[in-house]
Copies of this chain bind each other. A is one copy, B any other.
């Protein structure tokens, strides 16, 4: 059994129910919309966020019949952010499938993302408790703010690591945190458990983003399954680069800045790798991700021993072992 299979095993049935809800609700009577959502369905990844809702529910003894729907809504919001991210990043390939902005155009990708957000919120208003609508609307707002702040801080090699973590925390970890909080609390369960699982989710999400940022600078496109070097191309200064810059001499720093900003330069990632070794920065970033995962695991280790709790612990290790 692969690591992913073993992580999802405790919630396999509810994950299937989640997928049925998701498939039913991303479709639309409009042929044009359904053509696109069918296409986006092929992006289907590991559905980690939905899995987190369900595992957090089981691990805290809080699962209800509505949990698969809550999980589907979380996955739908994630899909919306992916579609818009691809527009923002100018990406061409996502999980070996052409991005919506590439297959259709940017305009269509914007509309499809909006549709998915709206569908997710509409579905959340049908749930018996308003908690999911509240938590997820607020999470979505924070995600957008994180993305806007990230765009505003492009080319800023001097930002403190805490700023990087605040932004990555908002744009990525927030949805993991919301997924875990809802799993543990929806529709109105114990607040302390909700808080504790939210912190687990936030740490896991931040670790995931840090690993992702490492993949973007040292990963191989054919292994990662999406375009690499986007962050360098877009001027996003991620943790491995921020650290590399911090420990470099003035001449190297100047060359690094040029690689990001020189107009018309092709293959900026290759150019960056040519002016400086990113190894120490990547190691440092990975160490930070490891520390976050250890903290996350400690938060769920106090829960009663169940297959779901153990899967949450294993999921932490999985985040650190994504393929390059």
* Nearest opposing residue in chain B for A140, CB measure: B118
> CB-CB contacts of A127-152 with B at 8 A, as 1s and 0s?
00010011001101101110111011
Selecting from A25-33, A177-185, A212-220, A287-295, the interface stretch reads A25-33
Q: Are B148 and A33 in contact (CB under 8 A)?
A: yes
Selecting from A102-110, A188-196, A274-282, A303-311, the interface stretch reads A102-110
- CB-CB under 8 A from A118, the residues of chain B are 117, 137-138, 140-141, 143-144
A86 to chain B, nearest CB (A): 11
A231 to chain B, nearest CB (A): 14
Q: Which of B88, B124, B133, B145 contacts A107 (CB 8 A)?
A: B88
A314 to chain B, nearest CB (A): 32
Inter-chain CA distance A87–B113, complex, in Å, is 14
* Nearest opposing residue in chain B for A107, CB measure: B88
- CB-CB under 8 A from A107, the residues of chain B are 87-88, 151
Please tell me if A245 contacts chain B, counting CB pairs below 8 Å. no
A66 to chain B, nearest CB (A): 15
Q: Are A115 and B33 in contact (CB under 8 A)?
A: no
Q: Are A110 and B122 in contact (CB under 8 A)?
A: no
**Given A88-B111, A114-B117, A117-B114, does the pair A30, B148 have CB atoms closer than 8 Å?**
yes
- CB-CB under 8 A from A151, the residues of chain B are 32, 107-108, 111
Q: Are B111 and A148 in contact (CB under 8 A)?
A: yes
Inter-chain CA distance A112–B148, complex, in Å, is 7
**Given A32-B151, A117-B117, does the pair A141, B122 have CB atoms closer than 8 Å?**
yes
- CB-CB under 8 A from A122, the residues of chain B are 134, 137-138, 140-141
Please tell me if A36 contacts chain B, counting CB pairs below 8 Å. yes
Please tell me if A119 contacts chain B, counting CB pairs below 8 Å. yes
A141 to chain B, nearest CB (A): 4
Q: Which of B114, B130, B152 contacts A84 (CB 8 A)?
A: B114
Q: Are A148 and B36 in contact (CB under 8 A)?
A: yes
> CB-CB contacts of A145-174 with B at 8 A, as 1s and 0s?
101110110000000000000000000000
Please tell me if A125 contacts chain B, counting CB pairs below 8 Å. yes
Please tell me if A186 contacts chain B, counting CB pairs below 8 Å. no
Please tell me if A121 contacts chain B, counting CB pairs below 8 Å. yes
Inter-chain CA distance A235–B2, complex, in Å, is 50
Q: Are B134 and A110 in contact (CB under 8 A)?
A: no
**Given A87-B107, A114-B84, A118-B140, does the pair A134, B145 have CB atoms closer than 8 Å?**
no
Inter-chain CA distance A133–B107, complex, in Å, is 26
Given A87-B106, A121-B121, 10 more A-B residue pairs with CB atoms under 8 Å apart are A30-B145, A36-B148, A87-B110, A107-B151, A111-B148, A112-B144, A114-B114, A114-B143, A118-B140, A133-B133
A-B contacts, 17 of them at CB < 8 A, read: A30-B149, A32-B149, A32-B152, A33-B144, A87-B110, A111-B147, A113-B114, A114-B114, A114-B117, A114-B147, A118-B138, A118-B141, A122-B137, A122-B138, A125-B133, A126-B134, A130-B130
